[in-house]
């Protein structure tokens, strides 16, 4: 039990060091030696916990996704009214808790790494699947969404993810050109439209 706890702490320490290296120097600059130095361990210690840099990337994506989902749950679980929960959930996905220069830059670097590594690509795909599932679970509390069929629910969730990711990318490229507040208001309006006017009934 104690050994596992120490190992988990060490892996987290290395993942956080990798994150800081990527944020500061980009993924290309986050060598094993630099990650080890940032974590305050020897490169051989790093190799003891991870097979290589790609495995660190995979686990880092999962680690920071977990942090985001914890923040999301904390934001909405304090509320019981379905409408309030919906509003708070949409607020969160356009907040600095999900869209900020560090997180966005880090995930973009991980997406680039996924181009040439199927395991990292699968990890990114799992992240998006988890995002879609959370949105569907969140919206199921609304009567209009609950009456949609599974295909319509999936497409609605996919569109919300696409809105979020597209706005995030545009904001990252030029934060003055895209307003997260306006994106939030527009997304709220679109969700209300989908809920009140089921897909295929327009």
pLDDT over threshold 90, residue 39 = yes
Asked if 17 and 28 touch (Cβ cutoff 8 Å), the reply is: no
d(CA 61, CA 111): 10
Q: What is the mean pLDDT of residues 158-181?
A: 93
Asked if 39 and 46 touch (Cβ cutoff 8 Å), the reply is: yes
Considering the chain, tell me which residue range(s) the CATH 1.10.357.10 domain(s) occupy.
52-196
pLDDT over threshold 70, residue 171 = yes
Quick one: how far is CA 201 from the chain centroid?
32
Task: Residues 52-196: name the CATH superfamily.
Answer: Tetracycline Repressor, domain 2 (1.10.357.10)
The pLDDT of residue 197:
60
Interval 12-28: pLDDT, tens: 999 999 999 999 999 88
Rg (CA), the chain: 19
Average pLDDT, the chain: 87
Both tokens of 195, joined, read: 């809920």
d(CA 101, CA 80): 32
pLDDT over threshold 90, residue 138 = no
Whether CATH 1.10.10 fits 1-50: yes
Q: What is the mean pLDDT of residues 145-164?
A: 89
Considering the chain, tell me which residue range(s) the CATH 1.10.10 domain(s) occupy.
1-50
For residue 133, give the nearest of 147, 151, 154 by alpha carbon. 154
Comparison of pLDDT for 96 and 14, the residue scoring more: 14
Q: What is the mean pLDDT of residues 154-164?
A: 91
Q: What is the DSSP code string of 13-75?
A: HHHHHHHHHHHHH-GGG--HHHHHHHHTS-HHHHHHH-SSHHHHHHHHHHHHHHHHHHHHHHH
Both tokens of 63, joined, read: 């680690």
Interval 97-115: pLDDT, tens: 889 999 999 999 999 999 9
| pLDDT bucket at 202, cuts 50 / 70 / 90 | very low
| pLDDT bucket at 49, cuts 50 / 70 / 90 | very high
């Amino acid at each position: 039990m104690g050994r596992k706890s120490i190992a988990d702490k060490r892996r987290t320490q290395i993942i956080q060091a990798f994150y800081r290296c990527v944020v500061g120097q980009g993924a290309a600059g986050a060598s094993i030696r630099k990650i080890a130095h940032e974590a305050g361990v020897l490169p051989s210690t790093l190799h003891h916990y991870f097979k290589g840099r790609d495995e660190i990337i995979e686990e880092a994506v999962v680690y920071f996704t977990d942090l985001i989902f914890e923040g999301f749950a904390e934001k909405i679980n304090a509320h019981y009214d379905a409408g309030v929960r919906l509003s708070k959930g949409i607020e969160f996905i356009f907040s600095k808790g999900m869209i900020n220069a560090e997180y966005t830059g880090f995930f973009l670097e991980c997406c680039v790494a996924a181009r040439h590594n199927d395991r990292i690509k699968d990890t990114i795909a799992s992240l998006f699947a988890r995002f879609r599932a959370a949105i569907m679970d969140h919206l199921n509390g609304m009567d209009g969404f609950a009456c949609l069929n599974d295909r319509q629910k999936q497409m609605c969730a996919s569109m919300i993810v696409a809105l979020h990711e597209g706005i995030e990318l545009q904001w990252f490229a030029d934060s003055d050109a895209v307003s997260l507040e306006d994106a939030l208001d527009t997304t709220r309006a679109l969700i209300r439209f989908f809920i009140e006017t089921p897909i295929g009934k327009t």
